[in-house]
Each structure stands twice: as C-alpha cells, then as structure tokens.
Amino acid sequence: MDAERLARHLAAVVGPTHVLADAGLRAPYETDFTGRYTGRARLVVRPADTAQVVEVLRICREAEAPVLPQGGNTGLVGGSVPTAAGDQVVLSLRRLDGAGPIDPDARRITVGAGLTLSALQGRLRPRGWEFGVDLASRDSATLGGMIATNAGGERVLRYGTTRANVAGLEAVLADGTVLDRLAGLPKDNTGYDLTGLLVGSEGTLAVLTAARLRLVPRPGHRVAALLAVDSLAAATALVTRLRRIDSLELAEFFTAEGLALVLEHTGLPAPFRAAHPVYLLVECAARHDPADELAEALEGADVRDAAVALDAVDRHRLAAYRERHTEALNAAGTPLKLDVTLPLAELPGFAAALPGLLDGRARPYLFGHLAEGNVHVNLLGTAPEDEDAVSLAVLRRVADAGGSISAEHGIGRAKARYLHLGRSAAEIAAMRAVKTALDPAWLLSPGTLLADRG
Ligand code: 2HG
Ligand code: ZN
C-alpha cells in the first residue's frame, strides 16, 4: 500500500488532522531528546482511544507497515524514534491522556497511556496520594512510555521500579486483539502474568493503551540534604548508613565535573563555597517530620559540607543540581549514554577503572541513583568511529563486575547489539519466541530490544 493510500485509510479512523505526513509536522516525532537518534517516519498517526488503536493496527498490518508506538519521546535508548529506512508508522499515544477517579479503597487509579507523569502528580497530590515513580522528565514522559520501558527514576529505593507500581494493563496486540487486565486485583493467581510481561517490553509485544496504577498515601513531611563528600566510596558508605532510616526516599549522586557543567549551563549559584569531589542528594519523607531522624543518622558521618532543605522551594533548588544534568550535558554536546548498574561495592572500582577503559576517547560524567548502584555514564567528545569500542569496553566491565548493561533506560536500539552481555543465549531465544508468538510478523518496534529474529 503506498503512503498516500495508507494515510487515507488511517485518516478515516483518526481524522485527517491526526495523520501527519508532512515532514515539518513529523519532525518532533522523529528525533529523540538528545538528538542522537533520528530517523524518518512513513507517517505519524495519533489515535484518540483504544478502539482507534485497534483499527490503526489492523490497517498497518494489512499494509505490512511496521509500527513504532511512542509516548512522550523522552526515552534515551532510541526505542521511540523511527529508523532512517522511512517505512515505520509512528503511533503516538499522547492523545490517550484520560484518567479515572482515584479508588481510595483499592489505592488505585486507571489512566490512559498518554497521560504525562506530571499531569498524574497534579491530579493525585491535592487529594493526598502519590504514584511511587518519579523522574526528571516528568513533564513530558507518559505513563505508557514509562511502563513500556519499566522506568526507574529517583525513588526506586523506596517504591521499586515502574513494574512494582503497575497493577494491571490494557494493551493491543499487533493483530488488533485487546488484552484487558485493568482490574488490577490485589490477589489474582490465574496463570501467566501478562501485565508483568508487557512492562518493560519496549513496544515490541503490544501497544499499551491504559494502566491501573498502584498509589501510596502522600507523606506529609519531607526534608532534603545535599552532602559533599570526598569520594564515591564515601558516598556509597553514606548511603549504606542512611538506608537504615525507613523514611529515606532518594539518594542521588553527582560529581564535581557534572556540577560544573550544570552551573555553567543553568547559571545557578554554586551550592557550597568550595567545590567537592562528590555530592550526595538525599530526601526523606514520612507522616512525621523526618528531619531529626536524618540528622541523627548523619551524626559523625564523614561529610565535608552540607545544605539542608526544609521547604519545597529549597528542596527543588537542591534537586535542580542533580536533575538538570541531562539538559546540561545535551547543551555541551551529544552525549553517549551508558545507563548501567553495579553492585554497590563494585562502584568505586568501576569509576576508578573508567579512565583506563576510555583511554582518552571520551570525557566521562557520572551521576545517578546511588542506592541501586545505578550510574548514568555520560560520555562527551567520543568520535563516531570510537563509539562502539568505547561502549563495549564499558559494558563488558560492568557485566564482568556482576552489573547490568541497562539499569533503567532499557535496551532500545542503542544496546540491542550488546544484549548478549546481559542475557544468555537461552534467554534471548526465549524472548524471541515470545515476540514471535505475540507479533508473528515482527511489525511492532522492529530493531528495538531484539536486533533481529536470530
Ligand atoms: C536521570 O536520572 C535520567 O536523570 C537521565 O535517567 C539520565 O541523562 C541521563 O543519562
Ligand atoms: Zn536516571
């Protein structure tokens, strides 16, 4: 089916204004947030509801057009933008942005896949509820995208990754079949966990259209502290000490090099008079004021300087030093991002080995979610011809140290060729078998997660 005919068929379902064929209109859907991954879509189609998604998939299947589901396009592994081939239909879920009522008995809410995280937060907070997952791209990231990538973010140490916070899903398979697991019962032991399977499937198994989310009561009190320490080893020791506090919700680290970049890019004043090698941002939240608890836990700790935030304005001020790393790095270049996780004890050794592994081929910036040993290795200045060798050197070291080559961003297109470093041949074969069972023609998100049929 030629592009014009395909566009006509799709327009009959979603309305002509929601089929974007023009290059200028397609552009925002074709390049990722960092500018690293870019391609060309055959068309962009924007359905309004699940019934329209079913029809869109039916038409694309008939046209043998590969389909790439897309949420807020904030992913960092190239899984949400089309390839250069120009044959993929980008299926934007952003119009599915509804939300049902909060169910306080079940502690649940049902949302459309296109609702942004910040829109969900805006709905929950005044009513005394929260969603356990939070991340810096909250204004654009959609719940559907977060679920498809099993996003982690800043509060994993307390609430787990997205997977732990999703009770049920509605999804459409490549052949248009709707799987409805939205009941999200607290107990439901009836066989394969299809919701669990689809979380983190990166758009390769089904198009996620709605989700039943777990909620937590909003803790009334919060306190944050930015702590300056000597080294990554000192920061990890501090995290181990602070994890004894139940109210600990966040433990984020960054280094002097990253902070310098953030200050230069944002114009923010430096947090302390002097620069320090490593910074740890911690936050506690509870029904009671956790400030004393935090102060007690920090007594006698090896901290070079500290700033405490007792109100929301100060908390956001401190959080900005950490959260604005991604945009500051983007402003400085097109970073090569290697989101990895290591056993905590291995982290300082990994950081020390990094310059040797890079061998002058990149400038590293390390920051991330310290409690999980999740380091966002951002590399600037890597020549295109060195990218593969540099990535392999870093990811191999991570795998050898018992870590994971993708902590929270997923595999996408960026790491599909390195999947064997994290998964055995038997596991990859099983993943391919699942893919083929649910999407026999491999029409959904081709090239993402699984590079090929093997
Ligand atoms: C974060 O933790 C995100 O801010 C982005 O996962 C990390 O830019 C990155 O590498
Ligand atoms: Zn992160």
CATH topology of domain 3-92: 3.30.43
Q: Where in the chain are the domains?
A: 3-92, 108-217, 221-326, 333-409
In angstroms, rounded to a whole number, what is the distance separating the alpha carbons of residues 105 and 28? 40
- Cα-to-centroid distance, 421 and ligand 2 (Å): 21
Phi/psi at 309 (5° precision)? -120, 120
- Cα-to-centroid distance, 439 and ligand 2 (Å): 30
Looking at ligand 1, which atom is closest to the CA of residue 337? 10
Residue 439 per-residue DSSP state = -
Tell me the per-residue pLDDT of 328-352, one tens digit each, with 9 for 90 and over.
999 999 999 999 999 999 999 999 9
Please work out whether the CB of residue 378 comes within 6 Å of at least one atom of ligand 1.
Answer: yes
Report yes or no: 48 and 79 within 8 Å, Cβ to Cβ. Answer: no
Q: What is the pLDDT of residue 243?
A: 94
- Cα-to-centroid distance, 337 and ligand 1 (Å): 9
* Mean pLDDT of all residues in 222-250: 96
Looking at ligand 1, which atom is closest to the CA of residue 154? 2
Q: Which residue has the tokens 């093997």?
A: 454
- Cα-to-centroid distance, 339 and ligand 1 (Å): 8
Tell me the per-residue pLDDT of 110-155, one tens digit each, with 9 for 90 and over.
999 999 999 999 999 999 999 999 999 999 999 999 999 999 999 9
- Cα-to-centroid distance, 341 and ligand 2 (Å): 11
Please work out whether the CB of residue 406 comes within 6 Å of at least one atom of ligand 1.
Answer: no
- Cα-to-centroid distance, 144 and ligand 1 (Å): 18
Percentage of residues in the chain having pLDDT higher than 90: 98
Could you tell which of 139, 250, 339 is best to mutate to test the pocket of ligand 1, judged by most ligand atoms within 8 Å of the CB? 339
Q: What is the pLDDT of residue 3?
A: 82
* Mean pLDDT of all residues in 302-307: 96
Identity of the amino acid at 207? V
Looking at ligand 1, which atom is closest to the CA of residue 252? 2
Tell me the per-residue pLDDT of 59-118, one tens digit each, with 9 for 90 and over.
999 999 999 999 999 999 999 999 999 999 999 999 999 999 999 999 999 999 999 999
- Cα-to-centroid distance, 439 and ligand 1 (Å): 31
- Cα-to-centroid distance, 410 and ligand 2 (Å): 11
Kindly identify the ligand whose nearest atom is closest to the C-alpha of 156: 2
Residue 177 per-residue DSSP state = P
Report yes or no: 336 and 390 within 8 Å, Cβ to Cβ. Answer: yes
Looking at ligand 1, which atom is closest to the CA of residue 323? 4
In angstroms, rounded to a whole number, what is the distance separating the alpha carbons of residues 83 and 89? 11
Please work out whether the CB of residue 341 comes within 6 Å of at least one atom of ligand 1.
Answer: no
- Cα-to-centroid distance, 43 and ligand 2 (Å): 31
Which CA distances in Å does 186 have to 60, 100, 129, 199, 430? 36, 18, 18, 17, 28
Q: What is the pLDDT of residue 59?
A: 97
Which CA distances in Å does 131 have to 160, 191, 212, 443? 11, 27, 11, 32
Looking at ligand 1, which atom is closest to the CA of residue 136? 4
Please work out whether the CB of residue 337 comes within 6 Å of at least one atom of ligand 1.
Answer: yes
In angstroms, rounded to a whole number, what is the distance separating the alpha carbons of residues 82 and 65? 12
Q: What is the pLDDT of residue 2?
A: 83
Class of domain 333-409: alpha beta
Q: Which structure tokens are listed for 432?
A: 């391919």
Helix (H, G, I), strand (E, B) or coil at 56: helix
In angstroms, rounded to a whole number, what is the distance separating the alpha carbons of residues 16 and 278? 53
Does domain 221-326 fall under CATH 3.30.70.2190? My reply is yes
In angstroms, rounded to a whole number, what is the distance separating the alpha carbons of residues 214 and 216? 7
Could you tell which of 135, 250, 338, 391 is best to mutate to test the pocket of ligand 1, judged by most ligand atoms within 8 Å of the CB? 135
**Minimum CA distance residue for ligand 1 atom 1:** 136
Please work out whether the CB of residue 326 comes within 6 Å of at least one atom of ligand 1.
Answer: yes
DSSP string, 289-356: --HHHHHHHHTT---SEEEEE-SHHHHHHHHHHHHTHHHHHHHH---EEEEEE--GGGHHHHHHHHHH
Cα angle for residues 71, 77, 81 (degrees, 5° grid): 50
- pTM for the whole thing? 0.97
Identity of the amino acid at 413? R
Please work out whether the CB of residue 324 comes within 6 Å of at least one atom of ligand 1.
Answer: no
User: Is 221-326's fold the same as 333-409's?
Assistant: yes
CATH (one of 1.10.10.10, 3.60.110.10, 3.30.479.30, 3.30.465.10) for 108-217:
3.30.465.10
Which residues on adjacent β-strands are paired with residue 326? none
- Cα-to-centroid distance, 241 and ligand 1 (Å): 25
